[in-house]
A and B are shown apart, each in its own frame.
Chain A
Amino acid sequence: MRETRIAAALVASCMLNVVGCATIPKDALVLSPDSIERRQLQTRRIDGIGEKELLSASAGVLQDLGFNIDESETKLGVIVASKDRSAISGGQVFGAILLALMGSYSEIDKTQKIRVSLVTHPAISSNGEILPNSHFLRITIQRVVRNTADQITRIESIEEPEIYQEFFEKLSKSVFLEVQQI
């Protein structure tokens, strides 16, 4: 009896091994209904400035926020930037201290790598003509968080509206400065 139970457990674990990791989620490459909402959150239209100057103003904002530019392709309106920062949160530290007092140890989030891609494209009028000096600018942000044991604890897109609003506020100041050539 005991032998067949061990055998059954072995078979189950073998099957898991053979099947391997989970496969790609079903809807990973399907446009979802909330993608339009997300697009509106992440996009603004900027008038009165050419694309190169707009990209230059955007690079300025990213630098103000402490990002390093990793990649850029001005002919396609793309800038990619990233920064590494601490991910230590007060709540987690408090929780870890409580657990430590009860004699157990828990890892807490330590560092995060935040990546942004900023993309501009020309705005088009209703009859398909490119509007001069008018562009849509969209930023998408994601991060990878590692804990004190250097394991990845979070890999996620950033979706909080306040973060995007704050970025665009800073951008409009920077565009003003760019237009004034400061």
Chain B
Amino acid sequence: MSSVRHTVLLPCALAFLAGCAPSTKAVMESNQSAVALRSFQQRAFDTADKEKTLRTVIATLQDLSFVVDKADLDLGTVSATKLSGYQLRITVTVRPRGATQLLVRANAQYMDKAVEDPKPYQDFFTSLEKSMFLTAHQVD
């Protein structure tokens, strides 16, 4: 019976202790590399109209039941929060990419965790494509 105790209690103790890193570590931490994150958090669109694109991003976020928190045309950013029984915060930035394209990047936080899974971002860009009537191109 003591072997059961060892094989079960030790991993359990380790699992609990894994949460013991100092919480300030979260300030600069990210579970994925910047390159990996950018690969699925951004898309390029064939337009150079930054204002129209930002307005379309805002309209899409409202369609997705977000409430816009902040918007800045010069900086090219929009932040919004969705409260539908959970809290989902998102920031979308728009900046020029060459002379004919704009780069749109989104990063989201679900409750107290960063969203670092490609699928929600794919969903967001699919929704944005519908509002923009333009294709979202993958960017290397």
Contact = CB atoms under 8 A, between A and B. Distances in A.
A1 to B, nearest CB: 10
Contacts of A14: 11-12, 15-16
B63 A78 contact: no
Given A23-B117, A30-B126, A144-B83, A10 B67 contact: no
Contacts of B130: 31
B9 interface: yes
B58 A78 contact: yes
Contacts of A21: 111-113
Interface string B33-46: 00000000000000
Interface stretch (A35-43, A87-95, A171-179): A35-43
B8 interface: yes
Q: For this complex, into which size category does the number of interface residues on chain A fall?
A: 35 or more
B62 A119 contact: yes
Contacts of A143: 83
A42 B63 CA distance: 10
Interface in A50-67: none
A11 B11 CA distance: 9
A141 B67 contact: yes
B8 A138 contact: no
Contacts of A141: 67
Nearest to B68: A117
A73 B78 CA distance: 10
A150 interface: no
A52 to B, nearest CB: 14
B76 to A, nearest CB: 10
A4 B4 contact: yes
Given A17-B16, A31-B64, A39-B62, A73 B71 contact: yes
A76 interface: yes
A140 interface: yes
Contact of A80 (B11, B68, B108): B68
A18 B15 contact: yes
Interface centre among B1, B4, B67, B80 (most CB of A within 10 A): B67
B81 interface: yes
A20 B15 CA distance: 11
8 contacts: A11-B12, A18-B15, A23-B110, A24-B88, A76-B73, A121-B58, A144-B83, A155-B87
Contacts of B16: 14, 17
Given A3-B4, A31-B60, 7 more contacts: A24-B108, A24-B110, A31-B64, A35-B64, A75-B51, A80-B70, A119-B62
